[in-house]
Structure 1
Amino acid sequence: MFDKELFIEDCRSAIRDGQKGIREVVARAVSDPSSVVRVMGSEAKAGIVPLYRSESLTIMHFTWAPYMTLPPHNHNMFSVVGLYSGREDNLFWRRTEGAIEVAGGQSLGAGQVATLGRDIIHSVVNPLDKKTAAFHVYGGDFLAPDDHRSQWNHETLEEGNWDLAAVKNRFGEFDHRYDLWRDAELAAVV
């Protein structure tokens, strides 16, 4: 059975082994997705909830609204993503002269884990009509990083400053859209 407090303690211990150690802990935690769902749920409001935060480690619980997108961005620290519900599609980008271009992708389902290196630029999509839930574990303080972070405009791919408040608002906007859609679907049934 998944134990949230034990997961946090295991991550705190594994950070000394870097990304590899964190990946092992996250993979073990999401290996039984239904156990995680029983503890964490899968229908929480879309958003980013810190579970643990220090200068060297941040553990976040992400809930993605249906069809939600997050524009290309970097972290400037390693991260490990472990899904326990839904699907998360990542596009990986590389810098070019004055822009970025797609360099690859990875689709994750419940029970799967991805590792992203310090210099990775990625965008994220929940392609499903249901919520997606995951743990994102970072090798640093995700909420107040030492290094400047960037995000890129979805349409123009112009680089700008990472804006955590705007990202949090985006989760709320997509969650609101989901609520409106769900309410309309329920009304149509009645």
Structure 2
Amino acid sequence: MFDVEEFVAACRGALEEHTPELAVKELLSSTVARPGEIEAALGTPGEGGISTLHRSDELTIINVIWPPGMTIYPHDHQLWAVIGLYGGQEDNTFFKRNRDGEGLERAGFRELQSEDAINLGRDAIHAVHNPRQMYTGAIHIYGGDFFAKPRSEWADESSPEMPYSVEGAMRAFADANERWLARQQ
């Protein structure tokens, strides 16, 4: 059975490994292989948002619930990250900065399904989309304080780089929830 405190302790222990992001991915991969256990512990996704399971200077673990149809703009983390899905689908479009420093260029795509896990390097830039008509549940783990680390976002790939706004991201989740609920009436 998935237990948040035990999972956090295991992730903190993985930080002692030679390559902590790989140790964390192995741990998260084995965890999301049992999606029903995660859902039983965290609840069935029914509203989009971000809830913090653990936050410290060395490690942040969040439960991300993507509302149906939600897209979050390109952003970076400036931290290594491991993402594992326990329900739904998360489409990640990857970018790199343009050579002239203005805007972004597409650099790849990865579709994640339930039970998939992926590593993102410190310099990864991605946008995320939930293409399904259901909530997507994901555990995101970061090698540092996700909420305090200065990083960047872009309104779209042709927009200039600007400081990342946690408040803006939370608003994007709230807006996506409202749009989905309005469609259900």
Q: Structure 1, residues 44-70: CA drift from partner, whole Å, max 9, x if none? A: 321111110110100001000000000
Matched, 1:122 2:126: yes
The more displaced of 34-43 and 100-109 is 34-43
Matching of residues 38-77 of structure 1 within 5 Å = 38-77=40-79
Q: Which runs of 5+ in 1 are unaligned?
A: 185-190
Corresponding residue for residue 83 of structure 2:
81
Corresponding residue for residue 110 of structure 2:
106
User: Following TM superposition, by how much is the alpha carbon of 1:40 offset from its aligned partner in structure 2, in angstroms?
Assistant: 1.5
TM-score by length of structure 2 reads 0.94
Q: Which runs of 5+ in 2 are unaligned?
A: none
Q: Does the CA contact (< 8 Å) of 1:80 and 1:137 recur in 2?
A: yes
Corresponding residue for residue 11 of structure 1:
11
User: Following TM superposition, by how much is the alpha carbon of 1:42 offset from its aligned partner in structure 2, in angstroms?
Assistant: 2.9
User: Following TM superposition, by how much is the alpha carbon of 1:6 offset from its aligned partner in structure 2, in angstroms?
Assistant: 1.1
* Structure (1/2) with the larger helix percentage: 1
RMSD: 1.1
| Equivalent-residue separation in structure 1 for 2:126 and 2:56 (angstroms) | 23
**Length, aligned pairs only:** 181
Corresponding residue for residue 166 of structure 2:
164
User: Following TM superposition, by how much is the alpha carbon of 1:172 offset from its aligned partner in structure 2, in angstroms?
Assistant: 0.8
Aligned residues: percent identity?
Answer: 36
Q: Which amino acid aligns with 1:156?
A: S
Q: Does the CA contact (< 8 Å) of 1:42 and 1:85 recur in 2?
A: no
